[in-house]
Structure 1
Amino acid sequence: MKPIRAILAAAAIVAALPGAALAQRGPDSLGADWRARQDQARGGVQSGRLVPLSAVIDNIARRTPGRLLDAGLEGRNYRIRWATTDGRRIDFIVDAESGRILSGG
């Protein structure tokens, strides 16, 4: 049950983000297959193959102060778009199986 809470917490974080940019996106702004990728991520976390996205976001927040802009599963990696406190945008690529940051920051 714990991985489900982690996914729900990550979804709540994204849903609660301020900013008109997220609100103005069209229904397909994440791509036509975004729902399938979300289901793939959820299944991977539930089976123990993938690190919960909330744990990845917590790790990034400890390393780089700022806030989440967007996050999702792309292939075997999570892509985390992050806004730093000094106004920079960083795209983190994180191995979804290990949680290791591959690039960004």
Structure 2
Amino acid sequence: MKPIHFLFAAALAAAALPGAASAQRGPDSLGADWRARQDQARGGVQSGRLVPLSRVIEQIGRRTPGRVLDAGLEGPNYRVRWATTDGRRIDFIVDAQTGQILSAN
């Protein structure tokens, strides 16, 4: 399974867990155009313009133990919503071309 497919499969599986729905904002917390952005991200990774989201998530996991709630491309950046092991939620903004974490709020 390709890394990007694995990531989205993992995100879907996490969303199916009890309590995951309450962590999201509405039925699609990434917005109505999420699927188009997913295709854009996949194309960017395949062409080598973007860092794979799976690599970004691994980097965040090494920095902050926890799990991904959801993730996607927003403009030139990835937004990764993260649940820490102590129950906090952090939104990481990561440059999709370089993989550099720009902010964590």
TM category (shorter chain) comes to: 0.7 to 0.9
Aligned alpha-carbon RMSD (Å) = 2.0
User: Could you give the per-residue CA deviations for residues 5-56 of structure 1, whole angstroms, max 9, x where no partner exists?
Assistant: 1111111210111234439953x55322111111100000000000000000
Counterpart secondary structure, 1:97:
coil
Counterpart secondary structure, 1:50:
coil
Give 5+ residue unaligned stretches, structure 2: none
* Corresponding residue number in structure 2 for 1:76: 76
Aligned length: 101
Give 5+ residue unaligned stretches, structure 1: none
Amino acid at match of 1:9: F
Q: Which runs of 4+ in 1 moved over 6 A?
A: none
CA distance in 2, matches of 1:12, 1:83: 18
CA distance in 2, matches of 1:53, 1:19: 24
Deviation at 1:67, TM superposition (A): 0.7
Moved more, 85-94 or 4-13: 4-13
Counterpart secondary structure, 2:98:
coil
User: Which of the residues 1, 5, 8 maps onto 2:5?
Assistant: 8
* Corresponding residue number in structure 1 for 2:87: 87
Using the aligned pairs only, state the percent identity.
70
Counterpart secondary structure, 2:21:
helix
TM-score (structure 2 length as normaliser): 0.86
